[in-house]
Amino acid sequence: MPRSVTLLAGVLLLAVGIALVAGGGLPRAGSVAPLALPSATATPAPSSSALSSTAPSVSPTPVPTIGPIPDGYRVQVPRLGIDLPIAEGDIEQDVVRQQTPEGFAFHFPGTAIPGTVGNSYLYAHARRGMFLSLWNARVGDDVTIRTPDGAELKFVVTEVHPRVPPADTSWLQPSGDERLTLQTSTGPNSGDPRFVVIAAPA
């Protein structure tokens, strides 16, 4: 057997062994982000034959601002004691390797920037000082996004979903309205359900 194949097999076995030992019931560092990426299929637009010929002309839907979130944003939920800086998420680190850092809420790449039309998706660990208290969210809770220029974007919680399967990526899909989706984990394992909160502009 060639030496490169033997070396590759050894590295693979070592990685599997480390994963098995590390996964033996100890909390993993990052089972917070969704386990899968949303599918690239978009909802089809209605065909022209489905529209009434008497319908008024409608201007195109505003396009959400999608891209890395600039430095200086914060998410706050006063009743729950949440006040975190927002950083851009890293799909490789947070989704693939499940090693989301602590101390921040993360903006899921490809979702809308808060304050624009679309679904702004933020996630953080269920730890004290982070999104742990999100488990106590209620419809009607105030959510504030502070922008780098000091503006306050006000939202109100409209939906609370405490047991979302981790592979359910429908919550990441674009929306035609302005919304904020907050998500955290419910346990230390990647297969534990996610806790999802939806907020709309106040």
pLDDT digits over 103-160, tens only?
999 999 999 999 999 999 999 999 999 999 999 999 999 999 999 999 999 999 999 9
Name the residue ranges covered by the structural domains of the chain: 67-201
Residue-level pLDDT at 67: 75
Residues of the chain with pLDDT under 50: 4-30, 39-62
Confidence at residue 38, expressed as pLDDT on a 0 to 100 scale: 52
Q: How far apart are CA 4 and CA 183, in angstroms?
A: 43
Report the distance separating Cα 119 and Cα 67, nearest Å.
12
pLDDT of residue 7: 41
CATH 2.40.260.10 at 67-201, yes or no: yes
| Residue-level pLDDT at 35 | 53
What's the pLDDT score for residue 49? 36
- On whether the CB atoms of residues 74 and 85 are closer than 8 A, the answer is yes
